[in-house]
Amino acid sequence: MGLALKDTLYHCYGDYLTWPDNVRYELIDGVAYMMAPAPDVAHQDVAGEIYFQVRQALQGKSCRAFIAPIDVRLPKCAESDDQVDTVVQPDVLVVCDPGKIDRRGIRGAPDWIVEVLSPSTAGHDQIKKRRLYERHGVREYWLVHPVDRVLTVYRLQDNEFGKPEIYELKGETAVGILPEIVIRWDELAARLPTDY
pLDDT single digits (tens) 135-191: 999 999 999 999 899 999 999 999 999 999 999 999 999 999 999 999 999 999 999
- Check: CB of residue 94 under 8 Å from CB of residue 65: yes
- Report in angstroms the alpha-carbon separations of 32 from 11, 50, 54, 95, 146: 7, 28, 30, 24, 26
pTM: 0.92
Question: What pLDDT is stored for residue 1 in this prediction?
Answer: 36
Return mean pLDDT, the chain: 91
Q: How far apart are CA 113 and CA 142, in angstroms?
A: 6
Tell me if the domain spanning 39-191 has CATH number 3.90.1570.10: yes
In the sheet that holds 71-73, the strands lie side by side as 31-34, 25-28, 87-88, 71-73, 105-107, 101-102
Higher pLDDT, 106 or 39: 106
Q: Residue 68's pLDDT is what?
A: 94
The model's pLDDT over 5-23, given as tens digits with 9 standing for 90+, comes to 778 889 999 999 999 888 8
